Chains A and B, each alone.
Chain A
């Protein structure tokens, strides 16, 4: 443990919608250490993407609004940095890979030129040959076959997996300190997903970048993350080392997620789904947002008042580094 690369404190992000103001991210705090991979898991609407887009200045305001919080990166607060400063940081110190490479690449420019641009913008002094050489090198690294020829291709000439490789090349072009991958393989087929995942690991290992992997796919988390943060309704439900989260979950939501996923490695007779629906952010349940779906709340027996009245804080539950936001986390045993 050293100085964190990124330290987020009490971040709150709201959106104004026709139905009212929704709090997409509701007071989350976490750090990312150098070289580690933090997996952020959660279902749609849990706030996992917004929490990162907002610190990069990528949430349009309005309708979005950063209510409070700090995001310390390299000694400065990103939430208070100027647009110009943020632009310099994005793509150089913090790089991103998004889910859909077709919308992230500009369809009218050549793929090679777009990767080259990512280098040039942040290194204006570099000569043309230098930039071109580096571009081809990057394309080669991410496994774009025949990079010299591929340089001249347009995005539509590449397959989904190839486009995602180009995005990764662009992301690591300036050896970022932090790589944010938001559902990087969700749009891809299994065999292509495997290729991209391997490239992503390679990119991470080559640049020694700290990585934040945002995904709904627990398999990707199992595969890549050192530490995991599980989000629910804009808050952190549980956080801890990957082994602990998978083998000793201490939040009923995490327990539910693990029990509800079908597995490839074993035959199961039944899945145990989480009852109910994720809450609408317009009307988040009081107290613990998860209580209406929770087996520890005990709705059948009238329910525990504490779950409805008090919002549980994230607290240490199972040795160092393992945190859960549940009043009754101690009732969960290893299973």
Chain B
């Protein structure tokens, strides 16, 4: 029986996009954006999904909400399989499962007032006949720290941070259980980013929400997430609690990602030896055989090309999809000769 604490779960979720080319638009290939992803989100927690562009994290977000239809696999929400739910019933589910997008300049209709934008979900879901003038919108604006007097203003009258507050208010309109946040602070300046991060935490506590937080920004994820799934080329390569992922990562990709981030403080200069990754992320239309990370991995051997590593706990405390998962030696990180080859200069 399923764990009742798990609000949202995906099982072997797959989303492939066909590539069409030529005069007849024949399908010539497939982009394997999401390629067998299992995640579990427990009630009240924040699951972070991190990875670089093209790893499939945004497609995963959209597939969970069925904004794009999954190619295979299952999406289970509150114990109900919603993978093939017809649209009328899906609409009911979507009242509880909302999304906030990255760019508040693109996601808000410039011709609608704040009251119309925030009240639209109420109207569409026929919650309140006078939603745009009623109390809920003012309450929602108050929750997200906007002046309730501003209901008749248009998006262009607001700054980026305020627009993102409007987008969050809209997502909260139907009193959802889960918010999928797709890079919600990436388009914002540092000082505003912190405001929105704090707002999301406050709203979560106040309304008892569950978050799926999609981001490429490791420091933001570290701050806000309880558990983290690291994605690479459509797969989850490592997953665990925040302390595990940031304190004791075992997948080479996670280790490289963490060591590549810029330092926080000038006094750290030279103290951290980055694991310089060679090359770029391979094309998701033609991913490497076996382990997808092997083309950039310093641990890769022949086995990695033929046998795909499963995402399982190899006795290290949390699941990692690497045949040779292991802790990176403690600081000073990666002394040459400890089995981790640290390039002295660039490739």
- A residues adjacent to B (C-beta < 8 A): 43-44, 143, 145, 159, 161-162, 189-195, 197-199, 202, 216-223, 225, 242-243, 246-247, 256-257, 259-268, 270-275, 277-278
Contacts and interface: CB of A to CB of B under 8 A. Distances in A.
B266 A242 contact: yes
Nearest to B53: A189
Given A189-B53, A257-B191, A273-B191, A222 B346 contact: no
A190 B218 contact: yes
A256 B189 CA distance: 13
B288 to A, nearest CB: 16
Contacts of B302: none
A247 B243 CA distance: 26
A199 B191 contact: no
Contact of A202 (B161, B190, B268, B346): B346
Contacts of B261: 190, 194, 219, 264
A190 B257 contact: yes
A194 B52 CA distance: 13
B271 to A, nearest CB: 10
B342 interface: no
B262 A243 contact: no
Nearest to B347: A143
Contacts of A193: 260, 262
A270 B280 contact: no
B76 interface: no
Interface string B299-326: 0000000000000000000000000000
A272 B194 contact: yes
The 8 closest A-B pairs by CB, nearest first: A219-B262, A273-B194, A260-B194, A194-B260, A189-B52, A43-B189, A262-B223, A274-B191
A82 B77 CA distance: 67
A216 B189 contact: yes
Interface in B213-265: 216-220, 222-224, 242-243, 246, 256-258, 260-265
8 contacts: A190-B52, A194-B276, A247-B265, A256-B191, A262-B219, A262-B222, A273-B194, A274-B195
A191 B281 CA distance: 9
B162 A195 contact: no
A271 B263 CA distance: 18
B25 interface: no
B189 to A, nearest CB: 4
A222 B262 CA distance: 8
A121 to B, nearest CB: 27
Nearest to B220: A262
Given A192-B52, A193-B262, A260-B191, 7 more contacts: A195-B276, A197-B262, A202-B345, A202-B346, A222-B263, A263-B264, A267-B243
A260 B196 CA distance: 11
Contacts of B159: 277-278
B277 A191 contact: yes
B280 to A, nearest CB: 4
Contacts of B257: 190-191
Contacts of A271: 194, 197-198, 223
> Which one of A161, A260, A262, A273 has the highest number of Cβ atoms from chain B below 10 Å of its Cβ?
A262
Contacts of B281: 189
B230 to A, nearest CB: 12
Given A44-B189, A191-B257, A268-B223, A262 B194 contact: yes
Contacts of B189: 43-44, 216, 278
A247 B256 CA distance: 28
B192 A199 contact: no
A160 to B, nearest CB: 8
A137 B30 CA distance: 38
Contacts of A198: 274, 276, 346
Interface in B149-193: 159, 161-162, 189-193
Contacts of B243: 267
B257 to A, nearest CB: 6
A159 B195 CA distance: 34
A219 B190 contact: no
B87 interface: no
Contact of A264 (B52, B161, B218, B256): B218
B26 interface: no
Given A262-B222, A264-B258, A265-B268, A274 B194 contact: yes
A262 B218 CA distance: 9
> Which one of A189, A192, A219, A257 has the highest number of Cβ atoms from chain B below 10 Å of its Cβ?
A189
B54 to A, nearest CB: 8
